[in-house]
C-alpha cells in the first residue's frame, strides 16, 4: 500500500505569492534603472555634455530618469500584502517623489522619509528586501548629492526635476 500525499495550494495563496514575486521583481528592475540613470548622469557630467547640448540637459539622462519614474510608479500601484511588500511599496513611492522633486527640499524630505522607513521596518523583513530597500535609500542619497553638485556648478542650468 503506497502513501501518496498530494499538497495543493489554493488559488489565493498562489496569487499572493505571485504578487509578492512581482513586487520584488519590479523593485529590482527599478533599482537597476536607478543605477543606470546615476551612471548616465556621471558620464554626462564627465563628458561635459551639458555644455554642448542645446537642451538644458542631455536627452539620455532625462530618458533614464523617466524610466525610473515609470518603474517606481509601477511598484507603487501594486497593493502591499506583507511586511516585505509594504517596505518595497513605501520605498518605491519615495523614489517616485525623489525623481519628480521640483526642489531640493522635496528631495531631502524623501531621503529623510527613506531613512525613517528603514529604521521602522519590521524585524521580520527578509534580508533580500532589506538590502533592496537600503539600496533605494542610497539611490535617493546619490540623487541628492548629484543635484547638490549640479546646483553648485555655475555652468549647469538643470537641477530638478530629474524626470521632467
- Give domain status of residue 46, yes or no: yes
Is 33 a residue whose pLDDT tops 70? yes
Top-confidence residue, 64 or 14? 64
The C-alpha atoms of residue 153 and residue 159 are separated, in whole angstroms, by: 10
**What cell does 163 get?**
524626470
Q: For residue 160, tell me if it sits in a domain.
A: no
- The reply to whether 9 falls in a domain is no
pLDDT tens-digit map of 143-156: 998 887 766 654 44
Q: Distance (Å, rounded) from C-alpha 151 to C-alpha 160?
A: 9
Peptide bond into 148 cis (omega under 30): no
How many domains are contained in the chain? 1
User: Does residue 136 register a pLDDT over 70?
Assistant: yes
Q: Is residue 91 part of a domain?
A: yes
Residue range(s) defining the domain that contains residue 130 = 18-152
Distance of CA 1 to the CA centre of its chain: 56
Does 66 fall in a domain? yes
pLDDT at 8 (0 to 100): 56
Reported pTM: 0.77
Amino acid at each position: 500500500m503506497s502513501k501518496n500525499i498530494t499538497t495543493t495550494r489554493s488559488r489565493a495563496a498562489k496569487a499572493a505569492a505571485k504578487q509578492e514575486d512581482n513586487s520584488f521583481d519590479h523593485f529590482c528592475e527599478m533599482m537597476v534603472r536607478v543605477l543606470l540613470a546615476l551612471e548616465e548622469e556621471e558620464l554626462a557630467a564627465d563628458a561635459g555634455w551639458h555644455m554642448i547640448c542645446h537642451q538644458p540637459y542631455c536627452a539620455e539622462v532625462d530618458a533614464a530618469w523617466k524610466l525610473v519614474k515609470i518603474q517606481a510608479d509601477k511598484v507603487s500601484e501594486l497593493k502591499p500584502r506583507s511586511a516585505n511588500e509594504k517596505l518595497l511599496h513605501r520605498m518605491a513611492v519615495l523614489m517616485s517623489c525623489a525623481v519628480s522633486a521640483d526642489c531640493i527640499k522635496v528631495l531631502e524630505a524623501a531621503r529623510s522619509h527613506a531613512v525613517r522607513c528603514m529604521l521602522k521596518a519590521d524585524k521580520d523583513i527578509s534580508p533580500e528586501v532589506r538590502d533592496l530597500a537600503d539600496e533605494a535609500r542610497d539611490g535617493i542619497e546619490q540623487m541628492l548629492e548629484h543635484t547638490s553638485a549640479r546646483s553648485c556648478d555655475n555652468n549647469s542650468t538643470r537641477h530638478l526635476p530629474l524626470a521632467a
